[in-house]
């Protein structure tokens, strides 16, 4: 049985829907806006590079690769629990805010 090779310009579309949803949620949290108690709007933009350098997991004391973060945001990679907690810690959100953002306490850090 032969494998189909995608060219570098073709993109896969058969990602796990759950991984795609988690990736969209992660991307939204990376580019979120918050309003302070005084009413000021603060834009919190975290780039893929910032997140990759800031996330610390076992075996990766200097962070992970930027393309790995990009793949998580696209839904191309599954986010394991260790990565989930590391990203949540860096973004200062509860891990539930990434995996299940529809729950009412999800965005409380």
What pLDDT score was predicted for residue 7?
55
**Domain containing residue 28: CATH number:** 1.10.260.40
Question: Quick check: is 80 in a domain?
Answer: yes
pLDDT tops 90 at residue 105: no
pLDDT tops 70 at residue 64: yes
85 falls in which pLDDT band (50, 70, 90)? very high
pLDDT tops 90 at residue 73: yes
What is the arithmetic mean of pLDDT over 67-94? 94
Tokens of 13: 């579309």
pLDDT tops 50 at residue 106: no
Cβ atoms 55, 30 nearer than 8 A: no
Residues 6+ apart with CB under 8 A from 57: 64, 82, 83, 86
What is the arithmetic mean of pLDDT over 84-96? 93
Question: Quick check: is 11 in a domain?
Answer: no
pLDDT tops 60 at residue 45: yes
pTM for this entry: 0.75
- Please state, in angstroms and rounded to a whole number, the distance separating the CA atoms of residues 36 and 33: 10
Q: How many domains does the chain have?
A: 1
Question: Quick check: is 7 in a domain?
Answer: no
- Please state, in angstroms and rounded to a whole number, the distance separating the CA atoms of residues 40 and 24: 26
> pLDDT digits over 9-41, tens only?
555 668 899 999 999 999 999 998 888 899 898
Question: Quick check: is 33 in a domain?
Answer: yes
Residue-number span of the structural domain to which 85 is assigned: 17-96
- Please state, in angstroms and rounded to a whole number, the distance separating the CA atoms of residues 54 and 50: 6
- Please state, in angstroms and rounded to a whole number, the distance separating the CA atoms of residues 37 and 69: 32
């Amino acid at each position: 049985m032969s494998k189909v090779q995608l060219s570098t310009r073709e993109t896969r579309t058969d990602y796990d829907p759950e991984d795609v949803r988690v990736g969209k949620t992660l991307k939204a949290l990376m580019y979120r806006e918050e309003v302070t108690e005084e009413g000021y709007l603060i834009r919190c933009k975290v780039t893929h590079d910032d997140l990759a350098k800031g996330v610390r997991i076992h075996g990766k004391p200097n962070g992970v690769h930027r393309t790995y973060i990009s793949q998580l945001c696209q839904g191309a990679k599954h986010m394991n629990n260790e990565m989930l907690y590391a990203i949540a810690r860096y973004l200062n959100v509860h891990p539930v805010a990434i995996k299940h953002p529809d729950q009412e306490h999800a965005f409380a850090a």
